[in-house]
Chain A
Amino acid sequence: MAAGKPVVMVTLVSSDGQSFQLLEEAALLSAMVRDTIQIGQGRGPAGIPIRNITGQTLSMVVVYCNKHYTAAAAADGDDAADEEKKVANKKQLREWDEQFINLEQDKLYDILVAANNLGIDGLVDLCCWRFADMMKGKSASEIRVKLGIRDDFTSEQRAQIEKDSPWVWSRTT
């Protein structure tokens, strides 16, 4: 980022009225914020109202945006930096991501939906990977219980699944 550029802040206001100030460039990670600013809104003191997202969730999202913005700015800043350092920085960011997203499932859900609504692709991706990780090594009924999803199969589908299951779960002898 070029030095001397004026620092522009935007304010995001959660559904329960909490407001969060962050650098406009960090907030631009969100496609929704980008669109709002492009049509010339959201820079005022009232900020950008984010419906459907609570302060608790939005605060996490803001942390993510700030981290990724600073990481990207740092990477841009020292373009002379050698490859090794870049790789190390990337690895560091990935580790940070992993730690950041290591959440219980309800929080993960909130963040996933929030990131989707805000259009933050990187965060959606991160949440989806984490969610996919949670599914690993579990049977269908374990997933249903864990996520509280109801089995709504027709008897026909259930018969199909039962037919498949000995094949799928057979252990090698």
Chain B
Amino acid sequence: MSFRSLIQEMRDEFGSISRHSLRSRSHRSGRALRVAAVGPAEALQQSCWAQLPPELLREVLARVEESEGWWPSRRDVVACAGVCRSWRGITKEIVRVPEVSGKLTFPISLKQPGPRDGTLKCFIRRNRTSQTYYLYLGLTEALADDGKFLLAARKCRKPTCTDYLISLDMGDMSKGSNTYLGKLRSNFLGTKFTIYDAHPPYDGAVVSKSRSARVIGLNQVSPRVPAGNYPVSHISYELNVLGARGPRRMNCIMDSIPASAVEEGGKAPTQTEFPLCGLDSFPSISFFRSKSARIDSVASQLSTQKEDKLVLKNKSPRWHEQLQCWCLNFRGRVTVASVKNFQLVASDENGPTNQEQDKPVNETRLLGKSWKT
């Protein structure tokens, strides 16, 4: 389109003299209103593609989603969600939670329930010198592929306990970072652990706050407001009567998941978006003990769930008479025999096994069928 015709078109649009000259291309006819709203400078950058009818855009994005099933090419789907508002909205609608699709797409997938049939195979790489741990999603059947990075954790020793700060960014594992997700706190002996989520674990509560918070949110420029501490899981890890050489006992109470979640047709709470600390700051319970109705709603939700929290236990190994050792079937996922290998199952023995995948939230040390040291 020549410069002259552009000017002509703009004149037409702003002056409302006529909608379009006969020369102008047909598909641009829907553009007039939008252009007037955004102003000439930006309008010039917009092309016909910005006006692609949503139903067609959906078709296209569905094909991107469909064809890019696995990492690393799955990042194309995330890229599409970062183009503009309409692209993001449609992509978010198309991408289904891992419980249904078995795929991880956005980082929030890590806080959503995992697939019910089948597992997501993950592994942890440990760096002893920097005291860091990296959780990867295995991309092939092989035990040692590169994997897709999922979570990073850094060990922080304190006088009475040890914290493992968990982050989405392998380069930034500080508590003030906006990629900070939560932490695993161990007692001095390493026998009791608590997992804290930086964000309140209930989606409903998260959504309800945003409208009122946004007014002040605009002034709170810094996204580095320290996040809260919401305990989501308690783990006890004990030696048994046989001492360090015998199988250990592990007991996880998942505060934020009702026991019914693992039953047929049960539902685990599913978040759809990370709450943003700075812009959207949701005061954590520990910071503000205010009478805010919003906080009360979180608290009451937490307490109502208390009666039937999901409890996971490690599967007890059998004593193998011939081999004279404790045995547990890891289906080929374990290469080194160790008392530290474990499988978690719902405490109700009727439930399906390997429930540790049910909600891969922050359980750095639990995720994956086995954990090798």
Contacts and interface: CB of A to CB of B under 8 A. Distances in A.
Interface of A: 15, 51-54, 105-106, 109-110, 112-113, 116, 124-125, 128-129, 131-132, 135-144, 147-157, 159-170, 172-173
Nearest to B149: A170
Nearest to B172: A166
Contacts of B48: 106, 109
A53 B26 contact: yes
Q: Is the interface of B mostly helix, strand, loop or mixed?
A: mixed
B73 interface: yes
Interface residues of B, number: 61
Given A54-B26, A113-B53, A128-B56, A138 B76 contact: yes
B302 interface: no
B170 interface: yes
Contact of A129 (B29, B47, B63, B172): B63
Contacts of A156: 214, 217, 276, 279-280
Contacts of B52: 109, 112-113
A144 B153 CA distance: 34
18 contacts: A15-B26, A51-B26, A113-B27, A116-B56, A132-B64, A137-B73, A139-B79, A139-B82, A149-B47, A150-B84, A156-B217, A156-B279, A159-B178, A159-B223, A161-B81, A163-B107, A164-B78, A170-B169
Contacts of B169: 166-167, 170
A110 B27 contact: yes
A151 B367 CA distance: 37
Contacts of B63: 128-129, 131-132
Contacts, number: 154
Given A52-B27, A54-B25, A169-B75, A124 B47 contact: no
A150 B42 contact: yes
A144 B49 CA distance: 10
B50 A150 contact: yes
Given A142-B79, A147-B50, 9 more contacts: A109-B49, A110-B27, A113-B56, A138-B76, A140-B82, A140-B83, A149-B87, A161-B81, A164-B107
A10 B47 CA distance: 34
A106 to B, nearest CB: 7
Contacts of B261: none
Going nearest first, the 10 A-B pairs with the smallest beta carbon separation are: A148-B47, A140-B82, A147-B49, A132-B63, A172-B146, A166-B169, A52-B26, A167-B168, A167-B107, A128-B59
A136 B77 CA distance: 9
A148 B46 contact: yes
Given A105-B49, A153-B88, A160-B273, A135 B146 contact: no
Contact of A149 (B46, B55, B273, B279): B46
Most buried by A among B47, B146, B172: B47
B159 to A, nearest CB: 31
